Chain A
Amino acid sequence: MKPGSRAPWFLVVPGVLALAFLLAPLLALLWRAPWGSLLEIVRSPVALDALRLSMITATAATVLATLLGVPLAWLIAKAQLPATGLVRALVLVPLLIPPVVSGVALLSAFGRRGAVGGFLYDSFGIQLPFTTAGVVLAEAFVAMPFLVIAVEGGFRSLNAEFDEAAGTLGASAWTSFRRVTLPLVAPALGAGMVLCWARALGEFGATITFAGNFPGVTQTMPLAVYEALESDPSAAIALSLLLILICVVILVVLRGHFLRPLAST
């Protein structure tokens, strides 16, 4: 640091305090971890079931959010909708409302007596609440806004001339989207998918409200941690450490591939 540009105390003190506040719980988790029985807890059937379910549902929710969210992001960024601002604000709603409320809202839409769910159940016998598919739905509902916002930013900063150039070279709209637009927003898409996946992995409130807490069917890792806390706190800590480990590993692995920004022209 250059002389004379020392950080003032009124920023340093609260700043360091904030860092301590963020790190203390994580360090406490390490401190209190049952290191001796860690492997045993993690390899218990309940933990393995929850882990498997969490991986599957978070990934499925991310796929669902990508398939639907990328086109939505494109519409907001490029289609000059009549009320773009309103649409963008609506997309943010699931991000802002309490997850439990999202769960209640999902029940009123997709529950067996819900507006859409009633139709699905009566016509096809499909039931979403309290099923693994319900978990995916709840996670996608809560996590999709992260993806949409990230990808929309990517689309918006894209030079329209790329699309025009592809058109003059004979590319159809689909070819242009697949071979030019999508690769160019890959960094934003990668970041959005990681955020979406991480949020889906940690989803608790909407999941337990809409899908319940049935081991092997809807009990994801966060739900298992919550349940373990009541019976066996050290197991809860062990599972929490596992969740943190997964997040860190995924971030490190993907950083090299997806999150590296493309060299621009």
Chain B
Amino acid sequence: MTVSADFALQRGAFELRLDVTLRPGEVTAVAGPNGAGKTSLLRALAGLERVSEGSIRMNGTVVDSPSTFVRPRDRRIGFVFQSYVLFPHLSVLENVAFGPRSRGTSKTRARQHARAVLEQLGIGWLADRRPSTLSGGQAQRVALARALATSPGLLLLDEPLAALDAQTKNELRTVLGEQLRAFEGCSLMVSHDPVDALLLADRVLVLEDGRVAQDDTPARIAAFPRTAYVAALMSLNLVRGIAGGGVITQADGSVVHIADHELTGPAAAVIRPESVVVHRQPPAGSARNVWQGVVSLVQPWEDRTRVHVEGPTPMIATVTALSRTELALTPGMPVWMSVKAVDVRSYPLAAAGPDASGGPHSLAP
């Protein structure tokens, strides 16, 4: 199924407005901060919310516009709810058979089909259990099986892994990845976790404030973030401004030195937290970029420590355990940060998207 969503949706003061086409076999992750409209997009595609302008088309047929509306049950969709919403009074098998039965399949055939889908997900042995006796990971698989059992053309997943503990999440991510790759329709998955987006999706749609902030492959999202949110999502620092003469001038007039002297016009620069060096005294080295700031947060991160520094140019820096001890960093402490120009990866921010040639330190695999 090909889904064309070119619509606006009004909800009080909030407006979601986008123009996106989903292609068969494509897995799209929807990322974005809370309240950006991710769930509204999912619910609009499912027919659980109406658009106020424009239209949603599935295989060319309008399913929602101000004048037309196709009910959820008449769209070929599968919806995996964040809280699973399994029917508590039905067995796992009956939950999965519910869709086929509602669409007119006989009781016996629907059960056979449900059993096959459960086997496919490796949870055939759960068939006779009640949802209240399932673990989070099991319930998630059952919810996925139930959505897949109707053979939807569009699979919608609302934070499918959010409610799971870390280990189950890793297991389920693998299961979900297999299922999504095998799935022939298009799938759209809301996720807060960049790892989900990078590992599971062919495409990442970043929503911010009801608009598409970036729509790219995971590799390009990681390499060329266009907004501070995307950069932070990928654990990168982002600076935006106007490039020219080897610097990017930010809106407040402060400059960031970059290695690329040819770059002009609207541009962005990303700085990896590892490239930011933190000092207690004004640094004496050769680094071109030196900023002052105040430590706002010190947190352990893998085998290192992440330091958030607030100031005119806020940065996240990664320091080793040793330098953390030497620097004795605590929140509220004034510090200097330095970054070499060669460690600043810059790229133009054209309206159509970042230039593919990118910067010298492309993170793209």
Physical interaction between A and B: yes
The interface of chain A, by Cβ under 8 A from chain B, is 159, 161-162, 164-172, 175, 179-180, 183-184, 186, 262-265
Given the complex of chains A and B, what is the CA–CA distance between A169 and B146 in angstroms? 8
Given the complex of chains A and B, what is the CA–CA distance between A263 and B87 in angstroms? 11
B354 part of interface (Cβ distance < 8 Å): no
A44 shortest CB reach to chain B, Å: 46
The answer on a CB contact under 8 Å between B102 and A169 is yes
Closest to B105 in A: A170
Q: B43-61: which have CB < 8 Å to A?
A: 46-48
Q: Please, which residues of chain A bring their CB within 8 A of the CB of B46?
A: 164, 168
B80 shortest CB reach to chain A, Å: 9
Given the complex of chains A and B, what is the CA–CA distance between A91 and B99 in angstroms? 37
B219 shortest CB reach to chain A, Å: 32
Which of A166, A167, A172, A265 is B88 in contact with, Cβ under 8 Å?
A265
Q: What class of interface size applies to chain B in its complex with A?
A: 20 to 34
Q: Please, which residues of chain A bring their CB within 8 A of the CB of B147?
A: 168-169
Q: Please, which residues of chain B bring their CB within 8 A of the CB of A262?
A: 88-89
Closest 10 CB pairs of A and B: A169-B99, A171-B102, A168-B79, A263-B132, A170-B103, A170-B102, A167-B72, A165-B85, A183-B89, A161-B85
Given the complex of chains A and B, what is the CA–CA distance between A184 and B131 in angstroms? 14
A186 shortest CB reach to chain B, Å: 8
A258 shortest CB reach to chain B, Å: 14
Q: What would 22 A/B residue contacts be, using CB atoms closer than 8 Å?
A: A159-B85, A161-B81, A161-B85, A164-B81, A165-B81, A165-B85, A165-B87, A167-B48, A167-B71, A168-B73, A168-B79, A169-B102, A169-B146, A171-B73, A171-B98, A171-B102, A172-B102, A183-B89, A184-B89, A263-B88, A264-B132, A265-B88
B7 part of interface (Cβ distance < 8 Å): no
The answer on a CB contact under 8 Å between A175 and B102 is yes
Given the complex of chains A and B, what is the CA–CA distance between A179 and B101 in angstroms? 11
B187 part of interface (Cβ distance < 8 Å): no
Given the complex of chains A and B, what is the CA–CA distance between A264 and B85 in angstroms? 11
A178 shortest CB reach to chain B, Å: 11
Closest to B133 in A: A263
B83 part of interface (Cβ distance < 8 Å): yes
Given the complex of chains A and B, what is the CA–CA distance between A245 and B90 in angstroms? 36
Q: Please, which residues of chain A bring their CB within 8 A of the CB of B78?
A: 168
A75 shortest CB reach to chain B, Å: 21
Given the complex of chains A and B, what is the CA–CA distance between A263 and B131 in angstroms? 9
A162 shortest CB reach to chain B, Å: 6
The answer on a CB contact under 8 Å between A265 and B98 is no
Which of A180, A186, A264, A265 is B84 in contact with, Cβ under 8 Å?
A265
Q: Please, which residues of chain B bring their CB within 8 A of the CB of A179?
A: 98
A118 shortest CB reach to chain B, Å: 44
Q: Please, which residues of chain A bring their CB within 8 A of the CB of B84?
A: 265
B86 part of interface (Cβ distance < 8 Å): yes
Given the complex of chains A and B, what is the CA–CA distance between A227 and B130 in angstroms? 53
B49 shortest CB reach to chain A, Å: 10
The answer on a CB contact under 8 Å between B88 and A264 is yes
Closest to B156 in A: A168
The answer on a CB contact under 8 Å between A265 and B102 is no
The answer on a CB contact under 8 Å between B89 and A170 is no
B40 part of interface (Cβ distance < 8 Å): no
Q: B97-111: which have CB < 8 Å to A?
A: 98-99, 102-103
B140 part of interface (Cβ distance < 8 Å): no
Q: Please, which residues of chain B bring their CB within 8 A of the CB of A170?
A: 73, 99, 102-103, 150
Closest to A171 in B: B102
Given the complex of chains A and B, what is the CA–CA distance between A175 and B102 in angstroms? 7
The answer on a CB contact under 8 Å between B98 and A184 is no
B77 part of interface (Cβ distance < 8 Å): yes
Given the complex of chains A and B, what is the CA–CA distance between A164 and B46 in angstroms? 10
Which of A169, A184, A186, A265 is B132 in contact with, Cβ under 8 Å?
A265
Given the complex of chains A and B, what is the CA–CA distance between A263 and B150 in angstroms? 26
Given contacts A161-B83, A164-B48, contact A169 B89 (CB under 8 A): no
Given the complex of chains A and B, what is the CA–CA distance between A179 and B95 in angstroms? 11
The answer on a CB contact under 8 Å between B132 and A167 is no
Most buried by B among A159, A168, A184, A265: A168
